[in-house]
Amino acid sequence: MFATIELRNPLVAVVLFAFFGSALPFPVWAQNAGPPESTTWNSLKGDVFEQKSIEAANGIVTIDAPKRAEDAAIVPVDLHFKTDAASGRIKAVTLIVDENPSPVAAVFKFGPDAGVTHLATRLRVNAYSYVRAIAETEDGKLHMTETYVKASGGCSAPAMKNTDEALANLGKMKLRVFPAKTTGLASMTRATEMQLMIRHPNNSGLQMDQVTRYYIPAHFIQGLTVSQGDRLIMSMEGGISISEDPNFRFEFDAKPGEDIKVEAADTEGKKFRDEWPLESSGLQESKPRI
């Protein structure tokens, strides 16, 4: 049986795979020493990056994720970037989960002077799969690193919250600002870490309503922009592989005295925005401005 879903975001419609056929929880190789080579990636990379050459990361970007996920619907992924003069500035990174029905999880783009060195989020992983981070440096070169995650069923896992609760809190944001520990450029202060949380079901289109037994339509955050004043920190174009209640933790070069602004949009055309003063460390919660 094959499942197909129609998504309005062209990013996540790059490739659709046979969902039920690819979700075997216990592959034959599981007793072997290591994961198999990914034939999926060989057919996928041309669709995403055309004929561009992809080099090994060589430390320019690193990825960390659990080898065996506790919850396939909430798999933490940590990326760290090297931004020295030799490697050059990283202007974008693409997150890919090879065996997901829509493999491109998200594309993040960074502002020219944002100085982002760390980014963490949570993904759905539908079957035992390589998770890849492909960084693009300012010279246009691509650099890839990957890790293998043993998880299954993440894209079809039931929602953690009921529908009424999810809709009542749709777009509500929280921002946690962690105290600065180091000093950056003369006009900036390193904000050690910042964590953005957005309440949204991020329905994948593969989840079943437990009462009606119908599939819940895809409904997810497809666009996100984080800025400080008029300066872009990062933007995201996302798909169904980002987990429910999207969560992003990142480190960047912050300017003192300028507010953090967040704007998000979902696949149903709803837009959410808010802003917070950077000086206020700790957790800040707000109601969404739609």
Note the pLDDT of residue 257. 82
**Residues contacting residue 12 through CB under 8 Å, at least 6 positions apart:** 102, 104, 222, 239, 240, 241
**Residues contacting residue 104 through CB under 8 Å, at least 6 positions apart:** 11, 12, 14, 48, 94, 95, 96, 239, 241
Q: CA 218, 101, 66, 149: dihedral to nearest 10 degrees? A: 170
Tell me: the pLDDT tens digits for 225-235? Answer: 999 999 999 99
Please tell me the pTM assigned to this model.
0.84
CA dist list (Å): 75 to 18, 41, 246:
22, 20, 12
* Cβ atoms < 10 Å from Cβ of 64: 12
Query: Hey, what amino acid is at 85?
Result: A
Q: List residues bridging with 64 in a β-sheet.
A: 78
Q: CA 89, 15, 35, 128: dihedral to nearest 10 degrees? A: 110
User: Can you say whether the dihedral through the CA atoms of 219, 222, 223, 226 is positive or negative?
Assistant: positive
**Cα–Cα distance for residue pair 145/51, rounded to 1 Å:** 18
Lowest mean pLDDT among 92-106, 119-133, 150-164: 150-164
**Residues contacting residue 106 through CB under 8 Å, at least 6 positions apart:** 94, 95, 121, 236, 237, 238, 239, 241, 242
Tell me: the pLDDT tens digits for 25-82? Answer: 444 444 444 577 778 999 999 999 999 999 999 999 999 999 999 999 999 999 999 8
3-state secondary structure of 112: coil
CA dist list (Å): 40 to 44, 46, 157, 162:
6, 11, 23, 34
The total number of residues written for the chain in this structure: 290
Lowest mean pLDDT among 1-10, 45-54, 81-90, 271-280: 1-10
Average pLDDT value for residue range 17-27: 41
Q: List residues bridging with 221 in a β-sheet.
A: 266
Cβ(63)–Cβ(123) below 8 Å: no
Tell me: the pLDDT tens digits for 216-264? Answer: 999 999 999 999 999 999 999 999 999 999 999 999 998 888 899 999 9
Tell me: the pLDDT tens digits for 39-48? Answer: 899 999 999 9
**Cα–Cα distance for residue pair 17/103, rounded to 1 Å:** 9
List, as own/partner pairs, every contact residues 156-159 make where C-beta atoms lie below 8 angstroms and the sequence separation is at least 24, other chains included: 156/19, 156/23, 156/126, 156/204, 156/206, 156/207, 156/208, 157/71, 157/72, 157/73, 157/124, 157/207, 158/207, 158/208, 158/210, 159/201, 159/203, 159/207, 159/216, 159/244
Q: Domains in the chain and their CATH numbers?
A: 19-25+51-286 (2.60.40.2470)
